[in-house]
Structure 1
C-alpha cells in the first residue's frame, strides 16, 4: 500500500475537502451495508491509502482521514479543533499564585449545531427515539426529518463543518493564531504574507504533518488543496517550501481552488489590479514548489458547460465546492485502486497508478512543474444511445478557467478516470465496455493526445445526505440521464439522487496557454512596466525588482515550454 497525506489550506479548500471526505465516509458506510448496491460492497478500493487506524485512550478503535486542515481561527463552527473522537481534557489550577489581582473571563457563546449535526450527534449517542409501530409511519417520519435537514443546509451553511459527517483526528484541525479577520478581508497574497509567520507557527504545523507522514509505510505523495483566492496562498507557499525541503523525493499534487468572486460593473480599477496581481504572484510562487499544479475555479459554474445537468448557485460555496470535490474524488481513484495482476480474477477496477506515475506521465515531455487541466462530466452520460449524442470525451468540460478550445497538442497527455458508467439506459457498463467505448471515442476524435491512460471503476459516486440539491430534472435516482427537456424546475438532492456515474480527466495540453499567458501579461503590465499601477502594492507585499523579474522569467519559461513549435518559430 502507498499512502496519501491530504493537506487543506484555507476556507474554500476546506469546503471542498468537507465534501470530499463525506464521499469517502459514505463509501465506507455503504461497504458494510447489506442492502447497498454490490458495487459499493466490492469496490476494490484501498481506503487505507487515505485513512489511518488509531485507538482512543478508552481503547476504542478509530479510522480517521490522514489529513491536515489549516484555516483561520473561528472557522470550525460548532466543531472543536480536537475533533469528536478524542475528548479534550482541560485542567484549570485551583489557585493562581503568580497573580493576586482580579481575574476576568471573557467567553463567546459556542456555535449551535444545525439539524444535520444534531442528527449525527443523536445517532452516535444512541439517543434517537423511534416509533417502530408500523413501517409506513416510521418511514414517513424519517423522510420528513431528512427533508428538514436538507432544507436547513440549503438555507444556511456558515462553515465547512456544518455539513461534515466525518470524525477527525486531534492532529488534523489547525487554526492559525492571530488570524481573526473575515474571509472577505483576507483576500490577497500580501495580507496572507503579513498575517502569517512560519517562524512562529511553522514548527507546530510541521510537527502535525510529520505525525501523519512518519506512520506511513510507503507514502506516495501529498494531495494538497489550497484556497487560491486570498491570503492562504501565501500560507500555502511557506508550507510547500518546507515540504519540499523536508520530503525531497515525495511529490506534491497541488489543487489551487478558487470560489466564486462577486464581480460587478462598478468594480474599481484598483480592485481589478489587486486581483490580477494576486493571481499572477500566487500562481508563480505555488507552482515553483509542486510537481503538478491544477488550477480550479470557473468564473461561473452555473453558466458553464459543466453544469448542463446541474442547478448551481455560484455565490454558495456549499454548492460549487461539491462539484470540485466530486472531480477530486474521481481523479484520485487510481491512486487507491488495488493493482490487478495477470492471474487475478475479474475485478471492478482497472488502470491503477500512483501519484508519482501520473506526474511522470503528464510531465513526460519535459514539462516540469507542470500545469494541468481538470475536466469533468457530472453526471457522465451513458456510453451508447439515449442522451449520449456525443462521445464520452465530448461531454468532458473544464473546471480550469481560461482554457483554449479545439487546440491540437502533439505532445499532449491525458489521464482519464471513468467510474459507475452506464452502457445504455439503466444498464451498468463493464470495465471492458468502458475501455472499448473510450478507445472508439479517441479513434473518432478530430484531435488526439500523444498518449492517454485510462482508469475504470464500477463503483459510482455515492451521494450523502449532506450533498447540496444541485441536480436537474433529467438526473435519475442513480445518475442515469432521462429523456425530456431540461427545465428550471426545483433541483434534486440526496433524497432523490443516491449515486451518479462520473468521468474526470487530467490533461497536459497547450490549451492551458491562455491561463499562463494572462498571468505573465498581468505581472508585467501591472507590476514591472514603468509606471505600473501595482508596483507600490507589490512593494508593500515585500517583493523587490529582482523577485518580480524572477517570477516573470519562470512564467516566460512555462509559456515557451507550452508553445507549439509552429508558434515559437520565426514567421518572417
Structure 2
C-alpha cells in the first residue's frame, strides 16, 4: 500500500507512444535503496502474480484501437499466457473449423532479446535499429503492465481510412455507451481503492482525433465521482501528420479537410479540459500545432526526426518525467493538488511547458560558469503557439542531473567568480533561484533540484550528437562511436503567463475561420452550431484570464 498514489490515464496512439517512453525511463532509473530521491509508489503499485511472484507495475489505464497492440496481448505478458483457442470453443462441426494464428516472429530484435533470459540483462546497453523497427508503441515497450491496464476499442481499427476514429463526437458517444463506461469506470475504481491516500490523476490524451471526446467523457466522470481529486491533463498533438505530404490536388483537398477536423477537435477538447480538469498543459514538438504541427522545436546537441513518433514522443516523455518530479519526491510534502492550485490561480486552467534537453553543461564546468555564459532563455516552449516570455509568470522549474559539487569554483581558484553575487550561493537551488530572479520580471519562481539525471538507455532513441558524453555532459571532443549516452541533465518547467493566453487566442482565431455547418459528422452527432459557438466563447473567456491587468 502506498501513501500518495496517482493513477495515470492514456488515451490514443501518440499518447501511448509518450507513455511507453515515460514508463521505460522510470523503470530504467529505479533505485530500490534508501538513498532514492523519487517515491516510485506514487505512480507504481505492488502486486503478486498467479505464481506468487512479486510485481511492481505502473498504476495505469491506457486505451487504443484494435490492431494497435501488434504482438502485445491485451492482458499483457506478465501475469499469465492468454489461452490458446481450440475447436471445441465454437459450437460448430470441428471438421468445418480452421484455426489460424498470427506468428509471434514479427517481434523486433529488441523484444526478442528482452524475452531471452541470456540477453535480457544486456538490452539497456545494446544498440538496435528501432527507427526502422518501430511502427507501434509496443515495439519498444520495456515495462510490463498489469492485466487490467490495456483497453482495446474493437469498434474501430487502427489506421483504417474507411472508418476513422477521427471526430470528437465519436469518442464522446463511445464513452457514453454503457459497455465502455461501466468497464472502464470499474477499472479506475479498482486502482483508486488500492491506495491509502489517493492524490488524483495524470491524464494524457490525443486531442486531434476522437480520443479527445473519449477523454472528455472520462474527465466528466472523474469530476463527478472523484470531485476532490486533482486532474493534471496533457492534451498532446503529434509532431507529424502523413497528410502533409500530398502529391495531387485531390490529396491536398483531403488534407485541408483533415486539418479543419483537427482544429474542431482541438477547440472542443480544450473547452472540455477547461471545464473538467484541474489544470491542462498542451504538448507538441511542433511549434505551431493546430492545422499542421509546423517547424519542429530544436534543442542544442539533439538531432531527431520529427516525422518519427518514436523520436518526438521520447522528448515529450523526458519533459513529462522531469516536470512531474516535484510531487513524486520522497523528501517533499508537495502534492499534485498544490501544483494544480498554484498554476490555475484566477481561473488560469491552462499552462505551458518548457524543456532543455540536454541541459548544456560542459564536462569540466560548474553551474555558476554555465549560467554566467548562458544566452537567451534556459528552456524552450513545447506548448504549441506559445511563447513563454520572462514577464509576470508563475512558474515551476525543475533541474536534474547536476551535482552539488559542481556548483562553483573552490575559493582558492575562484578568481573572477568571487566578484559575482551568485558566488555567495551555497546550493544549486539557491543559485538557480537567484538567476531566475535576475532574468525574469514580477515572476514567482519555484525551483526544484534533483540529483538524479534522466536515464536515456535503450530503448530511448539515440538522438544526442557526438559531443554529448556518456554521462550527458558536453565534451570538447567527439564521443567514441561504440559508447552510448546513458543519462543526461535536463531542465523542464511549467508556466502560467500571458503567452498561454496568446496560445488560446490563436486556436480561437483558427477555429473561428472554419465554416462549421459543412462538418456534418459533428452536427449529426448532436454538437450543433450554437453549442460550437458557446465552445468558442468559452475559449475566449479563458483567454481573458491571462491578461496582465487581470492578474498582477
TM superposition score category, shorter chain reference: 0.7 to 0.9
1:219 aligns with 2:207: no
Task: Give the Cα separation in 2 of the matches to 1:60 and 1:254.
Answer: 34
CA contact (8 A) 1:467 1:494 kept: no
User: Counterpart in 1 of 2:496?
Assistant: 508
CA contact (8 A) 2:381 2:387 kept: no
Secondary structure at the counterpart of residue 161 of structure 1: helix
1:99-178 superposed matches below 5 A: 103-105=96-98, 107-111=100-104, 112-123=106-117, 127=118, 150-178=127-155
Task: Give the Cα separation in 1 of the matches to 2:21 and 2:337.
Answer: 25
Q: Which one is further off, 157-166 or 381-390? A: 381-390
User: Counterpart in 2 of 1:272?
Assistant: 259
Q: Deviations over 1:55-77 (max 9, x none)?
A: 11211111111111111122112
User: Counterpart in 2 of 1:359?
Assistant: 340
Task: Give the Cα separation in 1 of the matches to 2:525 and 2:150.
Answer: 28
CA contact (8 A) 1:415 1:454 kept: yes
1:100-499 superposed matches below 5 A: 103-105=96-98, 107-111=100-104, 112-123=106-117, 127=118, 150-182=127-159, 185-193=164-172, 197-262=176-241, 263-264=244-245, 267-268=252-253, 269-299=256-286, 304=296, 306-339=298-331, 353-364=334-345, 366-368=346-348, 370-382=349-361, 383-385=367-369, 389-390=373-374, 394-404=377-387, 406=389, 408-409=391-392, 412-421=393-402, 432-449=426-443, 451-483=444-476, 495-499=483-487
User: Counterpart in 1 of 2:421?
Assistant: none
**C-alpha distance 218-302 of structure 1, shift in aligned 2 (>3 A):** same
CA contact (8 A) 1:179 1:195 kept: no
Task: Give the Cα separation in 1 of the matches to 2:205 and 2:258.
Answer: 22
* Structure 2 segments unaligned to the other structure (5+ residues): 288-292, 362-366, 411-424
Task: Give the Cα separation in 2 of the matches to 1:129 and 1:312.
Answer: 27
Give the drift of 1:177.
2.1
Give the drift of 1:242.
1.3
User: Counterpart in 2 of 1:564?
Assistant: 548
Task: Give the Cα separation in 1 of the matches to 2:343 and 2:465.
Answer: 34
Task: Give the Cα separation in 2 of the matches to 1:428 and 1:333.
Answer: 28
**C-alpha distance 548-94 of structure 1, shift in aligned 2 (>3 A):** closer
Give the drift of 1:105.
4.3
**C-alpha distance 297-474 of structure 1, shift in aligned 2 (>3 A):** same
Secondary structure at the counterpart of residue 565 of structure 1: helix
Give the drift of 1:160.
0.7
Give the drift of 1:186.
3.3
CA contact (8 A) 1:465 1:494 kept: no
Task: Give the Cα separation in 2 of the matches to 1:84 and 1:222.
Answer: 25
TM-score, with length taken from structure 2: 0.84
User: Counterpart in 2 of 1:518?
Assistant: 506
Secondary structure at the counterpart of residue 398 of structure 2: strand
**C-alpha distance 216-183 of structure 1, shift in aligned 2 (>3 A):** farther
Task: Give the Cα separation in 1 of the matches to 2:371 and 2:352.
Answer: 26
**C-alpha distance 103-494 of structure 1, shift in aligned 2 (>3 A):** farther
- Which of 72, 78, 81 is the aligned partner of 1:85? 78
Runs of 4+ in 1 over 6 A off after TM superposition: 91-94, 423-429, 491-494
Give the drift of 1:246.
1.2
Task: Give the Cα separation in 2 of the matches to 1:116 and 1:101.
Answer: 39
Give the drift of 1:203.
0.9
Q: Deviations over 1:417-438 (max 9, x none)?
A: 1111257979999x95311221
Give the drift of 1:87.
0.7
Q: Which one is further off, 187-196 or 459-468? A: 187-196
Give the drift of 1:476.
1.4
Q: Which one is further off, 150-159 or 373-382? A: 150-159
Q: Which one is further off, 194-203 or 166-175? A: 194-203
Q: Deviations over 1:181-221 (max 9, x none)?
A: 41774344245446665322111111111111110110111
Secondary structure at the counterpart of residue 220 of structure 1: strand
Give the drift of 1:271.
3.4
Task: Give the Cα separation in 1 of the matches to 2:281 and 2:440.
Answer: 25
User: Counterpart in 2 of 1:74?
Assistant: 67
Give the drift of 1:466.
0.6
Task: Give the Cα separation in 1 of the matches to 2:61 and 2:24.
Answer: 16
Secondary structure at the counterpart of residue 165 of structure 1: coil
Q: Which one is further off, 517-526 or 88-97? A: 88-97
Q: Which one is further off, 554-563 or 7-16? A: 554-563
* Structure 1 segments unaligned to the other structure (5+ residues): 33-40, 131-141, 340-350
Secondary structure at the counterpart of residue 15 of structure 1: helix
Q: Alignment length, in residue pairs?
A: 516
Secondary structure at the counterpart of residue 421 of structure 1: coil
Pairwise CA RMSD of aligned residues?
3.4
Secondary structure at the counterpart of residue 288 of structure 1: helix
CA contact (8 A) 1:425 1:480 kept: no
TM-score, with length taken from structure 1: 0.81
